Amino acid sequence: MHIALDAMGGDLAPQAAVAGAVQAAQEYGVSLLLVGDQEKIRHELSRNGQRESSQLVIQHASEVIGMGDSPVAALRRKRDSSLRVAFTHVKDGKAGAVVSAGNSGAVLGLAVTMLGCLPDVDRPAIVTSVPALTGRTCLVDAGANVECKPMHLVQFAIMGEVYARVVRGIPSPRVGVLSNGEEDSKGTETTRAAHAVLSKLPLNYIGYIEGRELNSGGVDVAVTDGFTGNIALKTMEGFYDFTQGQLRSLFSLSWRGKLAFLLLKRSFADLRASIDYDEVGGAPLLGTDGVTIIAHGSSSPKAIKNAIRVAHESLQRGVNQHITESLQQMPGLETLTAGDGRGRRIWSQLRQKFRSTKDAGVKDGTRALPDKNGSIKRLDNSDETEPSEPAE
Query: pLDDT means per 10 residues in the chain (392 residues)?
Result: 94 95 95 96 95 94 91 85 95 95 91 91 92 88 90 95 94 94 87 92 94 89 93 83 76 77 69 68 92 92 95 94 91 54 46 47 41 44 34 36
Note whether residue 197 is domain-resident: yes
Could you tell me if 160 and 96 lie in one domain?
no
pLDDT recorded at residue 346: 42
d(CA 173, CA 161) in angstroms, rounded, equals 6
Could you tell me if 271 and 351 lie in one domain?
no
Could you tell me if 383 and 293 lie in one domain?
yes
Q: How many domains does the chain have?
A: 2
CATH of the domain at 71: 3.40.50.10950
- Partners of 4 in the β-ladder: 33, 98
| Domain span including residue 234 | 127-275
Q: Which region holds residue 169: left if phi is over 0, alpha if psi is between -120 and 50, else beta?
A: left
Could you tell me if 267 and 369 lie in one domain?
no
8 A C-beta contact, residue 288 and residue 124 = yes
Tell me how long the chain is. Answer: 392
Could you tell me if 133 and 175 lie in one domain?
yes
Could you tell me if 265 and 354 lie in one domain?
no
Please tell me what DSSP assigns to residue 152.
Answer: H
Note whether residue 328 is domain-resident: no
Note whether residue 333 is domain-resident: no
Could you tell me if 16 and 153 lie in one domain?
no
Could you tell me if 144 and 258 lie in one domain?
yes
| 114 contacts: CB under 8 Å, gap ≥ 6 | 84, 87, 88, 90, 91
d(CA 196, CA 290) in angstroms, rounded, equals 31
Could you tell me if 153 and 271 lie in one domain?
yes
pLDDT recorded at residue 332: 63
Could you tell me if 132 and 261 lie in one domain?
yes
Helix axes 15-28, 301-316, angle to 10 degrees: 50
pLDDT recorded at residue 271: 63
pLDDT recorded at residue 341: 46
Could you tell me if 215 and 348 lie in one domain?
no
CATH of the domain at 250: 3.40.718.10
Note whether residue 325 is domain-resident: no
Selection from 4, 2, 21 nearest residue 299 by Cα? 21
At 77, the amino acid letter reads R
Note whether residue 208 is domain-resident: yes
Note whether residue 183 is domain-resident: yes
